[in-house]
Amino acid sequence: MKVAVVGATGLVGTKMLQVLAERNFPVTELIPVASARSAGKEVMYKGKPYKVVTMEEGIAAKPAVAIFSAGGSTSTEWAPKFAEAGIRVIDNSSAWRMDPTKKLVVPEVNASVLTPQDMIIANPNCSTIQMVVALQPLHAKYKIKRVIVSTYQSVTGTGKKAVDQLNEERKGVSLAADDMAYKYQIDLNAIPQIDVFLDNGYTKEEMKMVKETCKIMQDDSIKVTATTVRIPVMGGHSESVNVEFENEFDLKELIAELAAAPGIIVQQEDANQIYPMPLWAHEKDEVFVGRLRRDETQAKTLNMWIVSDNLRKGAATNAIQIAEYLSAQGII
């Protein structure tokens, strides 16, 4: 199978190449694609160098699937061109997520919505992905009414410039404004803004979590409110989630439901101080769930802590799982 990775030189694109290799996706020919200024550079895949080609060359190579991680404006311009050439697109940007004609997919939750007619498929926001993986089995069993989520998100979600900023700050290097991914220092700090502010006072990232959750879980009755925060870690995103259900739950039964669900590892050993952390989630594909306990202030309500590697399950792995599903169904 010919596979194109669009944005192959970026942080997520590099991770996509790694995950494709690790999961032994049936790649017969790899086509790394990037902007014209990156054309001719080399990327590594399974120990071999591959030359990066332009968008036009990527289309001309006729891959079966193109996995995009090249930003919203690039996806808006080029995903339709790939699709028109008969190339299935799995897009990691925000460009198509809320388009009512495009599917927004987390395979553990809603892969069954995919059909051969879906030529552009949207990969959700990283913080939404890990949350809905944990929420879906609980919604099926107890029916979710409301979700309050606060996130603690890795600098890797912003990209290489943010990682460089954190590393330089930790060395004591003073950076020029142009070299900073964030307006403020990120080391020894927490920045309660991810993406731009909207008219309602929420950030774009916060509203992504609100809207995407309902679309993926196919239930507009679920009320979601979010606060998203950038913190100086690299291993993954963490989320404190308060969930109110319509139906009563037994905590032991609820934990068993989560432990049996696909893609979830429950880490719930209070006596041994075992709980999910970015340090443990780093370079893993699962969603880790712990600190499960009743909200003692409100009936039928749960507190939980969710952690996942945002570059893997939150981006690269989820996209490749979509491709795996399409392949298993004979769609690609």
Q: Which residues are catalytic?
A: 126, 237
Q: Which of left, alpha, beta for 22 (phi over 0: left; psi -120 to 50: alpha)?
A: alpha
What angle, rounded to 10 degrees, do the helices at 317-328 and 11-22 form?
Answer: 40
Spatial CA neighbour of 316 closest among 3, 2, 18, 4:
18
CB neighbours of 234 closer than 8 A, spacing ≥ 6? 154, 155, 156, 163, 166, 278, 282
20: its two tokens: 């494709």
Does residue 263 contact residue 316 with C-beta atoms inside 8 Å? no
Residue (of 130, 156, 281, 285) closest to 209 by Cα position? 130
Closest CA to 237 of 245, 226, 247, 248: 226
Q: Which helix (H) or strand (E) segment is 132 a member of?
A: helix 126-142
